[in-house]
Structure 1
Amino acid sequence: MSFNVTVQPSGRAFVAQADEALLAAAIRQGIGLPYGCKDGACGSCKCKKLEGSVSHGPHQSKALSPEEEANGFILTCCATANSDVVIESRQVTDESAYPIKKMPVRVASMARASHDVMVVRLQLPASDVFKYHAGQYVEFLLRDGDRRAYSMGNAPHTQTDTPGVELHIRHMPGGKFTDHVFGPMKEKEILRVEGPYGSFFLREDSTKPMVLLASGTGFAPIKALIEHMQFKNITRPAVLYWGGRRPADLYMHEWVQTKVAEMPHLRYIPVISDALPEDGWTGRTGFVHKAVLQDIPDLSGHQVYACGAPIVVDSAQADYTAAGLPADEFYADSFVTEKDKAKAAA
């Protein structure tokens, strides 16, 4: 059995099977709904159900609270239709829905950027053009069926000479995939990936000044955005706030400084939360999302692109909307861990 799903205000429509999540059906048919983790843990796909009935699979209450569900909100990543459904979503674009491909990739290079961050370059098949938006991610397909998602740290235009993507992988001790990356993985190893996924990309039709907020390896998709902005000569004012516990966590600090020198409309505010005396840190301290509010207490005229740990992204969204940021001008990619996904499935 299948049901019709209509998305307002665009009027776009697609068909969902009775046992198929609405988001999966939309992706399959090239409909660009917003989403992040696809596992009921981040809340990026939350939207309003206007008509019809759905059933929800496992999800975290922080992604969709009982009160929100009672008020008609749903998570398209884990909601299946029980009837024809009408939903309200602020984003339904053709351009956000590049074809999703499964590809073999070769590890072209591995470089330690810090004690716990590896920059991995993957060589893509030269015979098949891989299209994606700066800010999107790919998923590694592991042998046991598990998946691990990582944002691409390079903009699409950088593939012109050498087809490949750059990933910033943080070591999570005990992690099935990252233990391999920081252990036996070697250059020339063959892996499989699928993508592109995600609705985190630059909205180029706006002229609003931008806040780019990153914590830890959440810098990877922000780096891709910066490269894209420079390539497209986008001159909207933008300020990057990048936070880490220690200065070494800002593992591409010099790269950002170089870009700031090349891009007059880009500023950079590094923020450290737990500097030690031996770090000799003399810059901004505290929580990185709070630093934004210290500098821009009224965010009503801005766009925000936030990426990193869920606690940072969630706190930023709550505090920034309270500071006047329109809800539909907060774009986020929360780095949900396997632990977070396990909570959603519990």
Structure 2
Amino acid sequence: MTFCITVQPSGRQFDSAPGEAMLIAGIRQGIGLPYGCKDGACGSCKCKLLSGSVVHGPHQAKALSPEEEAAGYVLTCCGVAQSDVVIESRQVTEAGAFPIKKMPVRVASMERASHDVIVLTLQLPSADAFQYHAGQYVEFLLRDGDRRSYSMANAPHTQASTPTVELHVRHMPGGKFTDHVFGPMKDKDILRIEGPYGSFYLREDSDKPMVLLASGTGFAPIKALIEHMRHTGITRPATLYWGGRRPTDLYQSAWIEGQLAAMPNLRYVPVISDALAEDAWTGRTGFVHSAVLQDIPELSGHEVYACGAPIVVESARREYAAAGLPEEAFFADSFTSAKDKL
């Protein structure tokens, strides 16, 4: 027996099969619900249950606390409808969702950007093989059935000249996928990906100034947004805050500096939390999300696009709301690792 899922305030509807998570049902039918990890770890898909009954699969309390569940909130990524359901979701797209595809890709290049980051470029089967929004991600399909998610760091328009996607892979020692990338993987190896996934992309119907917040390799989808903004001529004021422990963690600062001359609307604020004396760092220090509030203590007139470690994204979400940022103006992609999803 299928159940009808209604999404308010858009009024869009779709059906969920028995035992099927609402998010997966929505993706299957082209309904653009917000989400990030799809594994009950990040909370990006959390929304209000207006009516009906939902049972949750495994998830973490940081994504949905018992108090939030008691207050009527659900995670669509692991919430299974037990009846017809009405939910309230602020990011349902009417159009523009691209089809999710599985495809083989070939390793075109591997460039060591820092001691623990590789810029991985993958050759696509053809220029029209893969469509996505700047900011979305793909999943690698591993041989044992596991998956690993990485955001595209290049904007879609770059496919016209070279059908490749650029990914920024940080080494997680002991990681099933990253140990392979930093070890035996070589040029021309064949991998399999599926995508595009994610609801993190630029909302172009706004003229509000933007805060682009990145920690670590959370810079990857932000880079794609910046490329897209430059290509399409978007001139909304935007300030990129990129945080790392040490200056070497900001592995493409030179690329950003190169964009500033061509994009007078873009500012760049690098922030370092644990610089050593040998780094001779003279720039901003502390937590990157706090640097935003030091510069913009009142955020009600802004939009924020935040990517990176879950603790950074969640701290920003909480503290920016207290600084006046409307919930619907905070867009995030929390970079949960396999360890985060345990």
Relative to the length of structure 2, the TM-score reads: 0.99
- 2:205 maps to a residue whose letter is D
Aligned-partner Cα distance in 2 for 1:136–1:275: 31
Name the structure 1 match of 2:193.
193
Aligned-partner Cα distance in 1 for 2:96–2:308: 21
Superposition CA RMSD, Å: 0.8
**What does 1:205-284 correspond to in 2, within 5 Å?**
205-284=205-284
1:88-121, Cα deviation, whole Å (9 max, x unpaired): 1111113352100000000001100000000000
- 2:185 maps to a residue whose letter is M
Name the structure 2 match of 1:7.
7
- Confirm whether residue 95 of structure 1 aligns to residue 95 of structure 2: yes
Aligned-partner Cα distance in 1 for 2:312–2:275: 18
Give the CA deviation at 1:71.
Answer: 1.1
Unaligned runs of 5+ residues in structure 2 are none
- 1:71 maps to a residue whose letter is A
1:27–1:97 Cα contact (<8 Å) kept: no
1:23–1:77 Cα contact (<8 Å) kept: yes
- 2:200 maps to a residue whose letter is F
1:41–1:341 Cα contact (<8 Å) kept: yes
1:239–1:267 Cα contact (<8 Å) kept: yes
Match of 2:319, SS? helix
- 1:10 maps to a residue whose letter is S
Match of 1:341, SS? coil
**What does 1:59-208 correspond to in 2, within 5 Å?**
59-126=59-126, 128-208=128-208
Give the CA deviation at 1:261.
Answer: 1.4
Segment drifting more, 178-187 vs 88-97: 88-97
Aligned-partner Cα distance in 2 for 1:145–1:170: 21
Match of 2:339, SS? helix
- 2:294 maps to a residue whose letter is Q
Unaligned runs of 5+ residues in structure 1 are none
- 2:18 maps to a residue whose letter is A
- 1:253 maps to a residue whose letter is S
Name the structure 2 match of 1:57.
57
Match of 2:340, SS? helix
Match of 1:143, SS? coil
Aligned-partner Cα distance in 2 for 1:91–1:250: 31
1:49–1:73 Cα contact (<8 Å) kept: yes
Compared CA separation, residues 127 and 289, structure 1 to 2 (3 A):
closer
2:127–2:162 Cα contact (<8 Å) kept: no
2:127–2:159 Cα contact (<8 Å) kept: no
Name the structure 2 match of 1:331.
331
Aligned-partner Cα distance in 2 for 1:135–1:231: 15
2:127–2:160 Cα contact (<8 Å) kept: no
Name the structure 1 match of 2:318.
318
**What does 1:334-345 correspond to in 2, within 5 Å?**
334-342=334-342
Aligned-partner Cα distance in 2 for 1:239–1:296: 11
1:139–1:195 Cα contact (<8 Å) kept: yes
Match of 2:235, SS? coil
1:5–1:16 Cα contact (<8 Å) kept: yes
2:109–2:122 Cα contact (<8 Å) kept: yes
Name the structure 2 match of 1:29.
29
1:5–1:87 Cα contact (<8 Å) kept: yes
- 2:231 maps to a residue whose letter is F
Aligned-partner Cα distance in 1 for 2:217–2:105: 22
Give the CA deviation at 1:129.
Answer: 2.6
Give the CA deviation at 1:128.
Answer: 4.5
Aligned-partner Cα distance in 2 for 1:120–1:95: 31
- 2:195 maps to a residue whose letter is G
Give the CA deviation at 1:247.
Answer: 0.3
Alignment identity in percent? Answer: 77
